[in-house]
Structure 1
Amino acid sequence: MDEKVTVPRYRRAQGSTFFFTVALADRSSTLLVDHVDRLRRIYRTVQQRRPFETVAICILPEHLHAVWSLPDHDVDFSSRWNLIKGGFSRGLEPQERSASKLLKREKGIWQRRYWEHAIRDDADLERHVDYIHFNPVKHGLVTQARDWSFSSFHRYVEQGILAADWGGDMRDIAGNFGE
């Protein structure tokens, strides 16, 4: 008996669409999952003030990946990330900082820079969304994507875009993702 193979049907993102990797300065930290409610609250606040759609996201202990779709004619993702990173850092204890971070009044929690990539087409979007959802498995945090709670994977399952037992295959997810 032939088994029916279901191919995920990702919808097209509107406006300008970008993939991001944003990391903490201390790559051994678990700050993002330890304070995930704080991160979510700040993220929502920024999203309300400076609208964007979160196409996909995964929060890991020391970095996160996201695909955002910005409104038409808006490519200002940098101020949004600045607000998210600054809002998250306020109220947390400063980390060990360099002289330049002290001068700029940075707490040393985040890496200054982040990886960004403009999504080129539907295949590029699918590859990046799959990468995001598979990332906790890649890093050995879980054995199946469905077991990581800090991911948009669960929304994709609820919407019928991905099956609950979707596992992805890193061989099919080729590219540079900023890690």
Structure 2
Amino acid sequence: MSRYRRVRGRTFFFTVVLEDRSSTLLVDQADRLRRMYRTVFERQPFETIAICILPDHLHAIWTLPEGDVDFSSRWNLIKGGFSRGLQAVAPSMSKLKKREKGIWQRRYWEHAIRDDADLERHVDYIHFNPVKHGLVTPVRDWSLSSFHRYVKQGALPVDWGGDMRDIAGQFGE
């Protein structure tokens, strides 16, 4: 059984996706994304419960300060700051009118975490996602994940999730 902390405050799960689903921009520019993430965190604090950066999307779980539910402006600052200075594929007229560069999908998925079981399911989903997408076979081989923090804190064993090379069959979408 995994040991996760209890849900407190307003906790949300997010999926944020690049416009070009074949892109590897987020892993290619992971340091840039980290810098912008840190900059926004310093201006508008939040706690990152779990995160995983994949080539074309990322998943994160945040807990916002008591009484604060403004995750929207935080994501806007992260996405905008990350995009500034990057060359995008020619954006559509609609994106140009909204001063968008065509790097990110306009919308993102958010889900309010309901309880501890919901939190555990979403943390597991985030940590297993690189395996689900065929990027690694054991979870521990993906470096751009909070999984390693969970292992260091003793919340998960280093071999959590097994090794897909040891499992026969096809799984996933």
Report the counterpart of residue 144 of structure 2 in structure 1.
150
Q: Within 5 A, what are the aligned runs for 1:76-155?
A: 76-155=70-149
- Specify the SS of the correspondent of 1:88: helix
The separation in 2 between residues aligned to 1:30 and 1:159, in whole angstroms, is: 30
Report the alpha carbon displacement of residue 168 of structure 1 after superposing the two structures with TM. 6.6
Task: List, as ranges, runs of 4+ consecutive aligned residues in structure 1 with deviation greater than 4 Å.
Answer: none
The share of aligned pairs that are identical, in percent, is 80
Please say if 1:161 is aligned against 2:155.
yes
Give the structure-2-normalised TM-score. 0.92
Q: Which residue of 1 aligns with 2:7?
A: 13
Q: Match of 2:38?
A: 44
Query: Given residue 116 of structure 1, which amino acid in structure 2 is its aligned partner?
Result: E
- 8 Å Cα contact 1:59-1:151 kept in structure 2: yes
Deviation of 1:96 after TM superposition, in Å, equals 2.4
Residue 58 (1) aligns with residue 52 (2): yes
Q: TM-score w.r.t. structure 1 length?
A: 0.89
5+ long unaligned stretches in structure 2: 164-172
1:176 corresponds in structure 2 to none
Unaligned runs of 5+ in 1: 1-6, 170-178
* 1:105 CA displacement: 1.5
